[in-house]
């Protein structure tokens, strides 16, 4: 089985009828890059930088972060590398920040909300990223964006730090794309407005599902409601992809759903550009897509979009689209 998959390691990510996609990897630490390269990833679709901040006593300084980002970019040798700025809060806490206890941490002070408030922390990360940008193909991504103002503010801070570095004579890449995660329903609904301002969108289904179904992704009691194939999720994903494409932008997915064999045919038909997942899923996904014809699946899309429940969607894909 592994040997069968091995043949896909150096192959392009392309469907049976010649439609190209990118299959990228998700990482949490610079050393995880090896696993993505070993599995033939086309890039990094999500570097969860919060792991650089965890399991320690204090914030990582600019130098430490610079080294981590430079290492990842160099190892990727010019392949697209999406680095997500600090997404702390929710289930991931930093004891040394001594934040107040919250009733609903997943709805609270986290990710971009914290970064826009504690700008010293955010600016340090942005500087480190900008300085590392000349070592590869960096794309910066902001997490948990709910409003257009948040995106604008985060981007403005990035550009401000860039300007400072330029004045200091420190080289910075001129081709850094600036994008955002679509993982809050408000952002998915107005994806057309975001797509005018962001260079790319990446759908974070792990959070998007929990917020859309109002079902805590960590709570076993309500896990039956955590439904990737719920028609609401499929419609939101479709909305986001179409909005991005109408504005000439590319769109990825970096939640678990991107590597889910039931979801993959649907995402291919919806013309998702980039699928980002854990290293071990990459070859399976490339093999699955290689056997699927996008034009053949597209014929089923209208039918899938008319189904009423997640179970119906799952049964339909299993019956008609798994090869
Ligand atoms: C997501 O929410 O889908 C995502 C990729 O981010 P995380 O799992 O780190 O919240
Ligand atoms: Mg998330």
pLDDT level of residue 2 (50, 70, 90 thresholds): confident
Query: What is the average per-residue pLDDT within 249-278?
Result: 98
Q: Is 50 close to ligand 1, i.e. is its CB under 6 Å away?
A: no
Binding residues for phosphoenolpyruvate: 48, 84, 206-207, 217
pLDDT of 322 higher than 80: yes
- Does residue 263 register a pLDDT over 80? yes
**For the chain, what percent of residues have pLDDT higher than 90?**
96
| Angle, alpha carbons 140-255-245 (nearest 5°) | 65
Give the residue from 204, 309, 190, 294 showing the smallest Cα distance to 242.
190
Distance of CA 273 to the CA centre of its chain: 12
Dist. CA 269–CA 296, nearest whole Å: 9
pLDDT of 303 > 80? The answer is yes
Q: Which of 75-84, 87-96, 115-124, 162-171 has the weakest average pLDDT?
A: 87-96
**Cβ neighbours, 10 Å, residue 14:** 14
pLDDT tens-digit profile of 50-65? 999 999 999 999 999 9
Q: What atom in ligand 1 is closest to the CA of residue 207? A: 2
Which pLDDT score is estimated for 161? 98
Residue 1 has pLDDT above 80, yes or no: no
CA distance 275 to 44: 10
Q: pLDDT category, 91, cuts 50, 70, 90?
A: confident
Measured CA to CA, the distance from residue 271 to residue 136 in angstroms comes to 27
pLDDT (tens digit per residue) in 3-39: 778 899 999 999 999 999 999 999 999 999 999 999 9
Q: In the predicted model, what is the mean pLDDT of the chain?
A: 97
Query: Would you say 323 and 292 are in contact if contact means Cβ atoms under 8 Å apart?
Result: yes
pLDDT at 289 over 90: yes
ipTM of the predicted structure? 0.99
**197-242 pLDDT, tens digit each:** 999 999 999 999 999 999 999 999 999 999 999 999 999 999 999 9
pLDDT of residue 90: 87
Ligand 1 atom with the shortest distance to the CA of 183: 2
* pLDDT value of residue 182: 99
Q: Looking at residues 295-323, what average pLDDT do you find?
A: 96
Quick one: pLDDT at residue 35?
A: 97
Phi then psi for residue 106, to 5 deg, are -70, -15
- The dihedral region occupied by 18, where left means phi > 0, alpha psi between -120 and 50, and beta the remainder, is left
Q: Which of 112, 254, 266, 283 is catalytic?
A: 254
| Per-residue pLDDT at 281 | 97
Calculate what percentage of the chain has a pLDDT beyond 70: 100
Task: Supply the pLDDT for residue 3.
Answer: 78
| Binding-site entries | 48, 84, 183, 206-207, 217
In angstroms, what is the span from residue 205 Cα to ligand 1's centroid?
Answer: 7
Instruction: Tell me how long the chain is.
Output: 323
Q: Is 115 a catalytic residue?
A: no
Please report the atom of ligand 1 found closest to the CA of residue 46.
5
- Residue 55: CB atoms within 10 A of its CB come to 7
In angstroms, the CA 272 to CA 110 distance is 28
Best of 105, 184, 207, 251 for a ligand 1 pocket test (most atoms within 8 Å of beta carbon): 207
pTM above 0.90, yes or no: yes
Give the closest ligand to the alpha carbon of residue 206. Answer: 1
Whether the CB-CB separation of 216 and 106 falls below 8 Å is answered with yes
């Amino acid at each position: 089985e592994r040997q069968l998959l091995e043949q896909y390691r150096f192959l392009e990510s392309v469907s049976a009828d010649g439609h190209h996609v990118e299959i990228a990897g998700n990482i949490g630490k610079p050393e995880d890059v090896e696993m993505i390269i070993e599995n033939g990833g086309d890039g990094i679709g999500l570097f969860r930088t919060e792991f650089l901040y965890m399991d320690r006593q204090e914030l990582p300084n600019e130098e430490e972060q610079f080294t981590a980002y430079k290492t990842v970019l160099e190892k990727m040798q010019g392949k697209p590398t999406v680095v997500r700025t600090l997404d702390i809060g929710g289930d991931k806490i930093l004891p040394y920040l001594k934040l107040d206890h919250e009733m609903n941490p997943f709805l609270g002070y986290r990710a971009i909300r914290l970064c826009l408030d504690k700008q010293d922390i955010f600016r340090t990360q942005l500087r480190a990223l900008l300085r590392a940008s000349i070592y590869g193909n960096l794309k910066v991504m902001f997490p948990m964006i709910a409003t257009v103002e948040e995106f604008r503010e985060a981007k403005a801070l990035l550009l401000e730090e860039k300007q400072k570095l330029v004045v200091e004579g420190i080289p910075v890449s001129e081709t850094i794309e600036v994008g955002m995660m679509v993982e809050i329903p408000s952002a998915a609904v107005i994806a057309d407005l975001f797509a005018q301002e962001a260079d790319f969108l990446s759908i974070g289904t792990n959070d998007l599902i929990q917020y859309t179904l109002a079902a805590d992704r960590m709570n076993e009691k309500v896990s039956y409601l955590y439904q990737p194939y719920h028609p609401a999720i499929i419609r939101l994903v479709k909305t986001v992809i179409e909005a991005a494409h109408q504005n000439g932008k590319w769109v990825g997915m970096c939640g678990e759903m991107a590597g889910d064999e039931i979801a993959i045919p649907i995402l291919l038909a919806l013309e998702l550009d980039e699928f980002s997942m854990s290293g071990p899923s990459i070859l399976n996904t490339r093999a699955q897509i290689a056997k699927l014809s996008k034009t053949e699946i597209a014929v089923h899309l209208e039918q899938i979009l008319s189904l009423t429940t997640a179970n119906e969607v799952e049964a339909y894909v299993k019956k008609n689209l798994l090869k």
